[in-house]
Structure 1
Amino acid sequence: MIGLAYLAALVLSLAAMCAIDARFRLVFWDSPGRAAAVIGIGVAAFLVWDLAGIALGVFFRGETEFMTGILLAPELPLEEVLFLTFLCYLTLVLVLGTRRVLDRERSAS
């Protein structure tokens, strides 16, 4: 069960990000097609980066009891894809949320 801890933390973090997104209609709840494309391109770019780093011997999978041990490629754990998805989604929520706050501040003054 402990081998699912990191995966569970990532899933819960993604769920929390979805709740924030839904509440403020920032990313998927504003433009689902565009959001999926941007996150998909971001995750793909990071995966290419990861695979290049793995091929060059720069990146490797650390051993920990908190991960599932499921590998999608040599040295590429399942959790990495979820982490990259979370990272891209978080970035969009932060950028679009900040933009909305700044736009409201400008229009209020």
Structure 2
Amino acid sequence: MSILYLLILIGAIGCMVLLDRRFRLFFWRDTWRATVVGVIGLVFFVVWDLLGIALGVFSRGDSPISTGILIAPELPVEEIFFLAFLCYLTMVLVTGVRRILDRRILDRRILDRGRRRG
């Protein structure tokens, strides 16, 4: 039994928090909305996993880097952290790419106005 994988996931979530805070992408932009979206995403994927487990599609397997702690049959505690990281990463990427594209559109409009005037 080890906690290496869980610690790696917690570290990755911590990195997402720092990135989110620095650029105000998700939780630091709108905490309430981000919480709702994050919880809905997490619940969706946990239900997805539970259905996969019930149908025999997913199984835990043995890994020397996992804790071995199960919160349901075939559902290790690390899976919840992984799913939370997956949802958080997705939203940071979506909001980050959106910000980049919005900035490029704004820059292009400013450039086009300058060309029409000059």
**Normalised-by-shorter TM-score class:** over 0.9
- The DSSP-based 3-state class of the residue aligned with 2:71 is strand
**TM-score, scaled to structure 1:** 0.97
Structure 1 partner of 2:116 = none
Structure 1 partner of 2:60 = 61
How far the C-alpha of 1:108 sits from its partner, in A, is: 0.6
- The DSSP-based 3-state class of the residue aligned with 1:72 is strand
Distance 1:68 1:95 in 2: 31
- The DSSP-based 3-state class of the residue aligned with 1:50 is helix
Structure 2 partner of 1:72 = 71
Distance 2:103 2:56 in 1: 47
- Cα deviation digits, residues 20-72 of structure 1 (max 9, x gap): 00000000000111111101000100011100010111100010010001100
Distance 1:69 1:31 in 2: 36
Distance 2:41 2:61 in 1: 23
Q: Which amino acid aligns with 1:44?
A: V
Structure 1 partner of 2:46 = 47
Unaligned runs of 5+ in 2: 109-118
Aligned residues: 108
- The DSSP-based 3-state class of the residue aligned with 2:84 is helix
- Cα deviation digits, residues 53-105 of structure 1 (max 9, x gap): 10111100010010001100000000000000000000000000000000000
CA RMSD of aligned residues (A): 0.8
How far the C-alpha of 1:6 sits from its partner, in A, is: 0.2
Structure 2 partner of 1:30 = 29
